[in-house]
Each structure stands twice: as structure tokens, then as C-alpha cells.
Amino acid sequence: MQRLRIRRIEEKSLELCGGGGAQQPSPARIPITIITGFLGSGKTTLVNRILTGDHGHRVLVIENEIGAISIDHHLIDEERSAAASASSAGVVVLKNGCMCCSGETPGSELERVLDKLLEIGMAAGAILPFDYVLIETSGLADPGPLMQVLWRREMATSGFYLDGVVSIVDAAHAMRHLRPAEAEKQVAVSDLVDLSDSPGALEDVSRAVEALNATAPQLRTSHALVGAATLLHLRAYASDSALELRRAAAGGAASHSPYVSCVSLESRAPLRLDALQSWLRALAEDRSDDVYRIKGVLALRGEPRRFIVHGVHAQIHGFAGSEWRDGEPRASSLVVIGHRLEGLRLDESFAACASDGESQAALTDAGECAPCEEEEAAAEGKKRL
Ligand SMILES: Nc1nc2c(ncn2[C@@H]2O[C@H](COP(=O)(O)OP(=O)(O)OP(=O)(O)O)[C@@H](O)[C@H]2O)c(=O)[nH]1
């Protein structure tokens, strides 16, 4: 019933889009670029690159992550303070779950935030503190509903317009993700695709991307080393034909793989580095196929700086970030996103990293899961991207 209702609302919104026509940029309107890509593909790295770039824009970032805790804005803050960047106007974190399917109408959360931003800006004075907006989607988002919101007829009279969609494909892992429905859609609706470095797989991934989207130019970069001029002001929908092409790709309800889950872990007690390392090693060695992504900002015992952890499958690394500020609670937050996480005792084993005991809680007491149906579907998916 709910599904039917959402579909009707969506059909209505597409109808509203119907007479919108090509998107005409105007100096009075603020461009929006959507940055999308699968988990760990390099979106935050790209956003940081733009925020610390020398392009003259005051950029506002809208972040949306899956899971109960947000890590990305800390990672952006880390970079901003390291680069003493003046080009960032701030980061807004949307915490009400996935932006592409939250609210009554898919994407309506975004509409509310944009309205609010204009309202706050106007109240503060005639000049808004930002002149460009980046929306970083979660790694499991379907950008289609967001694009549809931004193309609605009502948006034509708003202060914003959608400039383009940039997606990042992590060439090293793109071919192995299970059920890549989200990853495929992200590529299909894009106006520019950035393939991150992985010399071995690059040609295969490039062909798979082209099969999904033949019109988007492909970049090949490492750690998002690309100038803002290449990414911003794409004016991707300035012609009716370009708009129609992307509108067709962006259609359909947001669909999420039911097999991916997110576990949010927190600890108020500082962690022991050796225990944390063993815990991460166990995840990387035993469950690298299932664990798509780990990211966190952690407080270590006897360490005045934050400890940042990034992991994509078996590639997990940690490094020291900025110092904790005086009076700031030194708490650890970590998210693990993946497949078949239910069998892992993540809460218990993570909490044990803060305890003094020699022995660590085992990561799993269930042994290997039996192969399940979704793996067959995944094998099908692997062939496609
Ligand atoms: N080798 C390699 N690593 C990269 C590249 N770009 C980013 N990374 C690393 O990949 C990890 C994930 O990067 P993020 O920018 O946080 O990825 P994301 O897409 O925002 O990840 P989610 O938050 O899961 O959506 C980090 O450790 C980055 O340093 C690249 O081009 N090459």
C-alpha cells in the first residue's frame, strides 16, 4: 500500500517535471552539483579537493550518510582545518536517513533543507554565505529521486538549479560489489564519471561504465586530483535533449539492496591501539568480501589526536588526525557497512578494544554463513559492473 502511494507521488512529481524544459543557468541562481558513487569510492575525497581548491566559490556541502552516526563531516572538518581553506561555507548533515527516500515524497527532505538555507541566508542579510552547493550522497543512494526534485517545475522559480551529477567509480573494487543496483544507477544518471586509479582493472571498468552510460565523459584520476573547473559548472541540462536523456535514466523509484546493512559503533572509553589493530585485522582477513566499508573517528588511550580509520574491503588504514579540543568529549564513532554483518559480534568485540583484558572478544561465534540466495544474484551483478 505504502509502495503504491510512493509510486503515485512519484508519478505525480514526474508529471510536474514534464513541462519543465531545459535548465537555464542564471547568475541569480545557485548551481548544485550532486557527487555520487558507491561506498568508499572517493566522494568525500573529491568534496575535500573542491573545498580546498582555489576556484573563488564559497561552497556549501550537504552530506547524507546511511547509519545512525555521521563520520564524513568530521573527515571534511579534518581536511578543512589542515588546509585552512577559505572556500568552504559550511557543511549541513542530513540525519533523517537516506535522502533519496526520506519524507513523504522521495527527496523531499532535500527540498526542505534548500528552502531553509535560503530562509536563513535571507534573514542574515542580502548576501548568502555560499554561491555553490555540493550534495554528497550516501554510497547507497539512488540519485534519481533527488534529480527529479531539482527538476520539478516549482524549482524553476527557486534560488537553485541542478548543474550536473558527477559519479566516482572505484576501479579497484567496482567489479566485485554485491548487488550493485545502486552503483549502476549512480553511473547511469551521471554527466561525468571519474574512475579512480587502479591500472589493472581500469579498461574493464571503463567498458562496463560505458555500457551503462555512453554519453558521460570519463576521467581517470587518482585521489580526485582534478581541478574544480572540470567538475563545476557543467551546465549538463542546458539543452532539451540532454535533459530528456538524463530524466529517462533518473526515473523509477529509489531501490536499495536489502542485503546491505550498517552497524554504528560507539565507545566513550578510549580504545587500546593494539586491540583495535587486531580487531581491524580480523575484519580485513576474515570478512573482507562482506565488509564493504569501515570509517571512523576514534579516541585512543594516551593519544591526544583523533585516530581516523578508513577501510574498503581488505584495504584498511588508520592515521592520526587533529588534536581533540579542550573540553571536547573524547568518544569513538565507527560505522561498518556490508553484507551478512548480523553473524558478527561487532558491538561486543569493538567494546573489548577499550578493555584491559589480554584476550579479545571473538569477532564471530557463528562460523561461516552458509552460501545464501543473494550471493547467486551477486554473481550475476558482478558480471555487470
Ligand atoms: N587508491 C586510492 N584510494 C582512494 C582514492 N580516492 C579515495 N581513496 C581512499 O579511499 C577511501 C575512501 O574514500 P572516501 O573519499 O571517504 O570515499 P567515500 O565515497 O566518501 O566513502 P563513503 O563514505 O563510504 O561513501 C579513503 O581511504 C581514501 O583515502 C583513489 O583515487 N585511489
Domain ranges across the chain: 1-69+89-97+105-232, 241-353
In CATH, which of 3.40.1010.10, 3.20.20.70, 3.90.650.10, 3.30.1220.10 is domain 241-353?
Answer: 3.30.1220.10
Assess whether the region 1-69+89-97+105-232 and the region 241-353 belong to the same CATH fold: no
- Give pLDDT tens digits for 295-309: 999 999 999 999 999
Q: Tell me, what's the pLDDT at 158?
A: 76
The predicted-structure confidence for 127-185, as pLDDT tens digits, reads as follows 778 899 999 998 988 899 889 888 886 676 778 899 999 999 998 888 776 455 788 88
> Are residues 379 and 366 in contact, defined by beta-carbon separation less than 8 angstroms?
no
Which residues have any ligand 1 atom within 6 Å of their CB? 37, 39-45, 72, 139, 196-197, 222-224, 293, 295, 310, 312
1-69+89-97+105-232 folds as Rossmann fold (3.40.50)
How many degrees, rounded to 5, is the angle at CA 135 between CA 90 and CA 336? Answer: 95
Each residue's pLDDT tens digit, 51-108? 888 888 989 999 887 766 777 777 776 666 655 555 556 788 776 567 776 544 655 7
Mean pLDDT of 374-382: 42
Query: What's the 370 CA to ligand 1 centre distance in angstroms?
Result: 31
pLDDT at 340 over 90: no
What are the C-alpha distances in Å from 330 to residues 69, 75, 267, 271, 311? 15, 16, 9, 10, 22
Distance 106 CA to ligand 1 centre (A): 27
What is the Cα–Cα distance from 145 to 336, expressed in whole angstroms? 26
Q: Whose CA is nearest to atom 15 of ligand 1?
A: 42
CA distance 146 to 164: 12
pLDDT in tens, 274-330: 999 999 999 888 888 889 899 999 999 999 999 999 999 888 999 999 999 888 889
ipTM of the complex: 0.98
Closest residue CA from atom 2 of ligand 1: 223
Three-state SS at 75: helix
